[in-house]
Structure 1
């Protein structure tokens, strides 16, 4: 049985985060969230999209780099602390690592 886009992204996130000391995975709201040092940094969506915690001060700049406003449920915006990154924007491992680094930096602020 072929792996889902979410399963493939989860594996890639695991590989990217393998050098972090405290990583925990938790299924939340249909996604697989990655908690690093106790804070949620990123989450793999069912369609292979990446939910990323961001610094609200960098929100507009990150929209220009491929992020999209994140929504919870049916059209409820999550605010400027979160972005959704479409699967096509994280197809490349370097791009995925860059977005994960954004989430890690924002999680620690």
Structure 2
């Protein structure tokens, strides 16, 4: 895993591990943070991948520091990549983690 991804994973872990149903799984050449078996957030290079409602995709993309998740050549609706400036502070990172966790907690457990 890249050093910037490792640092971000450690920051995420500190904010995320208190959630009920928390687990980690190796994915994307790194680690993905799960809730009740559902993917929630993951570091990707120096960005944060977040899972959010598909029906709010356009609204999410208008948020500062959010951009389409397009790591395979196709935009994945229901996901966003948060730029480093948006997660630089603990408050910024926590805000995005909480948004993703609130959505993922509405999904059926796997």
Class of the TM-score when normalised by the shorter of the 2 chains: 0.7 to 0.9
Aligned residues: 104
In the superposition, the TM-score normalised over structure 1's length comes to: 0.85
Deviation sequence 1:12-60 (CA, Å, 0-9, x none): 1111013212211112122321011211110111x22111001123222
Quick one: which of 88, 91, 107 aligns to 2:88? 91
- Structure 1: gaps of 5 or more residues: none
Aligned-pair Cα RMSD in Å:
1.6
Deviation sequence 1:58-93 (CA, Å, 0-9, x none): 2222222221100132x1221x21101112210111
**Secondary structure of the equivalent of 1:20?**
coil
Partner of 1:55: 53
In the superposition, the TM-score normalised over structure 2's length comes to: 0.84
* Runs of 4+ residues over 3 Å off in structure 1: none
